[in-house]
Structure 1
Amino acid sequence: MGKKINIENKISQHFLVLSLIISVVFSLAFPIFSGKDEQYHFDATSKLVGIKVDRKQIDPSSFGTIVTFNTRNNLGIKGYVDKYYLTKLDKVEKVNDERAENATLFDLRQYIVPAVGLFVGHHIYPSLGVMETFARLFNAIFYSIVMYVVIKKMRHGKLIMFATALSPTMIIQSVGASYDNINFLVTAVLLGFGIDLIFSKEKISTKRVIQLIVILMTALFFGKRNIYVTLLFAIPILMSMLIETYKLKIFYLKFTKRKELLIILLTAMLSIVILFRDKPFIIHLRQIFSTLTGNFISIGTFIRRGDYLATGMLVGTQEWDYLPVWMYGLWMILLFMLIFSESKKGISNYISVFSISLFFMNLLAMLWLYANSAADNPENVLNPNHYIIGPQGRYFTPLMPVMIFFNELIPISVINTEGDQKFIARLTYGFVGFSALFLLFKTIQSFWWLGIQGGI
């Protein structure tokens, strides 16, 4: 038992070391404005701390565009460094992006961590590259520390949270300067708290209820609309505490596939009601059906890569550093092993099915929101341009830990001995490290090596 506890304790320690290394390396390695929204994120971050600089003084690109490789490569490495890292930016009265300029400081609250980094970077050297790099560093280090605490506090599901947090999709988000970072963190805190409480079969208590309320209020304050479905995880958390407190054995009765499907459908309806209150219910149902039929290819893209075939769960990256399909396959194998490496706790099937259904409801909600918001006509969701594009796996990957509940529904186990546990842990460490190195290699190959070829 002592050795098992030691293995569990080391998971969080290994995460912190690996995550901090990744934070520093990738914050420096990723090229400036390599993501489509980074110009907006930079302007929003700079406005929050009152450091408004003329970004277009050296970078005329606008929101939604990536500075082309030809532009960078023609500069060569020396020219790139001179332009982005050594050129001081002038202060201006307004930031370049109008959306960021028109936003209130409250609207920009999700940028508070990278804003601190940008503030420090500006006082070190007021260039675009230095400010952006420090914003990334602060965001990534904050991510590492919070996730370390989450994993350390968990008594169950440590490895699946470890792997999810350091998947290529989340690495890219953690070393960026966007609000997606804090979105994942509030999701991880809720999932880590809930999974641990449910699997430990804790009874209801004032302390736990207050903690849950604080987590939910924090998520509502800092999170964006795209994580609202995740907040429904509070329902199985409360169900579990009530079941254990009042010994509600009815929730442990075996039920048919029809009842499982009914729970999923009820969860879907609840998600729709919460997310889509602005239009009649029947219109939303029709639009969702159109999205699924017209954009069905989007659901099948978890093993694909390309321009519009890139939902990219777990391995979703930018357009310039796609990981190969076989890497996705390896991640799925690891995920399967992690799901069924936990000891079974006899969790209520109702709780397990409800929790798992949240992942699919979140997927459905994101597909619909993207298709609907991208359309000129809100009811026209069949245009091919409304597919989810780019590294949108950031919206689905954070909920991967709920897949651990499959372990309670399916009689499969990949761990029988302490040696098996050690093997799974070491395999996870090794593969996550290899995956990060491969992503770094693709980054160097896609940008820096081409830059060297363009001339030092």
Structure 2
Amino acid sequence: MKRIMSRHANYSENSPEKFFLFSVMLFGIISMFLTLPLTNGDEGYHLSRSYTIFSKDMPKSMQPDALRQFEMINTSQDPLHNGFDLNDFFKTRLSDVENDSFKINIQKENNITAKIDLGHLPSAIGVLIGRYIYPSYGIMLLFARFTNLIFFATCLFFIIKFSNGGKWSLVMMFSVPFLQKIASPSYDVFAYVSLAVFGVNVLKLAKFNRFKELSTRDILFSLVTIIMILFSKSNYVFALPLLLFLPMITNPLKQLYIDQNRRVKLFFWLLMSILFVMFIVLMNSKFGLINFTKQFFNSYINVATMGRRGESLFNVVSTILPDFLNIFWILCLFFVMLTEKSYKWDNIFIIGNVSVFLLNWVGIFAAFYLSLGRPTHPLDELSGRYLHPFIICFLPLAQLVNYKYKLTTSEKAVKWIAIISTLSIMFFYLLICYYRGYIIHVTPTWKT
């Protein structure tokens, strides 16, 4: 173990993005073969969606219902002795797939803000390659996992490489929380990349005080990141309000407020109070705020009433790992965030980042709450994977604390803590996946 970590450290000397690329690719390739097929959370559905992007005939064997049957078996107790033949899954040629023709299809997806499914495109390329090499479920799934892994690792490599600070923090935030999905055909991978590039770009924009300081390239790239968010899962749209808290927007507004006389300021606060009351009345008619607040509290704050997902909401590492590893990794992450880099971020920008994290949490809960008809009991629908990508919202706060209290430590300490904690979680994740899938024969990647 020490030898492996030493090699990683030498390879990544002063280059966190190289460590990220090497460790994520190594982990992902092992995970591709180690994890039982169709056990990475709705993997059958995502494989079907990926296939149909380049299919003319839409063969029956690749329809969601057909793949869901395999998925139900593989996520049950003892799948290898419960009707699932791993050998057949890889070796049986699917005649309808073999006879299928190539056609590009634009798919609609209701879980995406823009309603057009681009998130499955990286894995669709892998399915297409696997289909022409050997048209079996197993081969197509392996290539779908591999191309999604390459897409994730390569994109994040360049995002970290061109970020302007806190690279080891980004390495940790963009690896461990996403371990279950990065080697799967899920469109979550595209969403993770979209939020990462959007978040890092916002941190860059927050260092400009005026809009005219931006280059044409900065503006165009920012538009691309916004478009990527719109083609990601719906909840990622909650990241967009971060743009409203950029100093280039808030500073002119603050100055405009300061320049007003006392009467104008009084009128402003009176107007804000009226608008706030109107907003509360509107939200109460929509949600029933007393019941909404009560169920939110019972779902995520009150341990006596919360469900399984509520209990594990802040398990940033996979829930198949023991709690002490989650505590260990979170402590390491915040140590790195607090001591790696200091910067005097704008206070309103800090408040905006924390507010966006809370907005995403409450907003997703609100969507489930309305879809279930405003229930009068705790909800157990929201899992932590919806919140964990938004951990980047706390990076400016940590760097501001560092700036104020001079917490910066040695680069070597930061590097080694990031490397050891990341590799440790990856190692234990693979170990537990193997143990659960092949030794005790239960769902390997998540708790049922």
Distance in 2, Cα, partners of 1:290 & 1:409: 37
| Contact 1:33/1:66 (8 A) holds in 2 | no
Deviation track 1:242-274 (CA, whole Å, cap 9, x = no partner) reads 74x9996999xxxxxxxxxx9xx99xx9xxx9x
- Larger-Rg structure: 2
Identify the residue that residue 429 of structure 1 maps to in structure 2. 419
Distance in 2, Cα, partners of 1:17 & 1:308: 34
1:405/1:130 CA distance change after superposition, 3 Å: same
Structure 2 unpaired stretches of 5+: 1-10, 101-105, 259-268, 443-448
Q: CA deviation at 1:21?
A: 0.8
Distance in 2, Cα, partners of 1:310 & 1:188: 23
| Contact 2:340/2:411 (8 A) holds in 1 | no
Count of paired positions: 398
Q: Quick one: which of 393, 404, 408 aligns to 2:384?
A: 393
Alignment of 1:242-321 (within 5 A): 243=251, 281-286=283-288, 290-300=291-301, 306=308, 309-317=311-319
1:219/1:308 CA distance change after superposition, 3 Å: closer
Q: Quick one: which of 140, 143, 156 aligns to 1:147?
A: 156
1:181/1:58 CA distance change after superposition, 3 Å: closer
Distance in 1, Cα, partners of 2:71 & 2:241: 31
Distance in 2, Cα, partners of 1:171 & 1:412: 33
Mean Cα deviation higher: 8-17 or 102-111: 102-111
Q: Quick one: which of 109, 119, 130 aligns to 1:121?
A: 130
Matched, 1:194 2:195: no
Identify the residue that residue 175 of structure 2 maps to in structure 1. 166
Distance in 2, Cα, partners of 1:424 & 1:250: 42
Q: CA deviation at 1:300?
A: 4.2
Mean Cα deviation higher: 202-211 or 158-167: 202-211
Letter in 1 for 2:28: S
Identify the residue that residue 344 of structure 2 maps to in structure 1. 346
Alignment of 1:370-409 (within 5 A): 370-373=368-371, 375=372, 378-380=373-375, 382-384=376-378, 386-388=379-381, 392-407=383-398
User: What SS does the corresponding residue of 1:173 show, helix, strand or coil?
Assistant: coil
Deviation track 1:192-222 (CA, whole Å, cap 9, x = no partner) reads 11113325778632422232122212321x2
Deviation track 1:22-60 (CA, whole Å, cap 9, x = no partner) reads 121112222112144222212111111106351589967
Identify the residue that residue 254 of structure 1 maps to in structure 2. none
Structure 1 unpaired stretches of 5+: 1-5, 95-99, 252-261, 274-278
Matched, 1:216 2:226: yes
Deviation track 1:210-247 (CA, whole Å, cap 9, x = no partner) reads 32122212321x2121111111122233x34774x999
Deviation track 1:91-112 (CA, whole Å, cap 9, x = no partner) reads 2799xxxxx9986997332211
User: What SS does the corresponding residue of 2:181 show, helix, strand or coil?
Assistant: helix
Distance in 2, Cα, partners of 1:358 & 1:307: 21
Matched, 1:15 2:20: yes
Letter in 2 for 1:296: F
Distance in 2, Cα, partners of 1:299 & 1:8: 41
Q: CA deviation at 1:451?
A: 5.4
Deviation track 1:378-437 (CA, whole Å, cap 9, x = no partner) reads 222x345x3136xx3221111111201223554444324xxx221111110111011001
Distance in 2, Cα, partners of 1:161 & 1:146: 13
User: What SS does the corresponding residue of 1:433 show, helix, strand or coil?
Assistant: helix
Q: Quick one: which of 81, 85, 89 aligns to 2:90?
A: 85
Q: Quick one: which of 332, 335, 338 aligns to 2:333?
A: 335
Deviation track 1:159-202 (CA, whole Å, cap 9, x = no partner) reads 221101111x3011211211111111111001111113325778
Q: Quick one: which of 112, 122, 132 aligns to 2:141?
A: 132
| Contact 2:309/2:381 (8 A) holds in 1 | no
1:226/1:63 CA distance change after superposition, 3 Å: farther
Mean Cα deviation higher: 38-47 or 304-313: 304-313
Q: CA deviation at 1:69?
A: 4.2
Distance in 1, Cα, partners of 2:39 & 2:233: 23
Identify the residue that residue 262 of structure 2 maps to in structure 1. none
Letter in 2 for 1:172: Q
Matched, 1:31 2:40: no
Identify the residue that residue 325 of structure 1 maps to in structure 2. 323
Q: CA deviation at 1:293?
A: 2.0
Letter in 2 for 1:429: I
Identify the residue that residue 229 of structure 1 maps to in structure 2. 238
Distance in 1, Cα, partners of 2:253 & 2:314: 42
User: What SS does the corresponding residue of 2:46 show, helix, strand or coil?
Assistant: helix
Matched, 1:74 2:81: yes
Letter in 2 for 1:73: L
RMSD after superposition: 3.9
Q: CA deviation at 1:66?
A: 6.0
Q: TM-score, normalised by structure 2?
A: 0.77
Distance in 2, Cα, partners of 1:197 & 1:186: 16
Distance in 1, Cα, partners of 2:85 & 2:314: 29
Q: TM-score, normalised by structure 1?
A: 0.76
User: What SS does the corresponding residue of 1:110 show, helix, strand or coil?
Assistant: coil
| Contact 2:287/2:370 (8 A) holds in 1 | no
Letter in 2 for 1:333: L
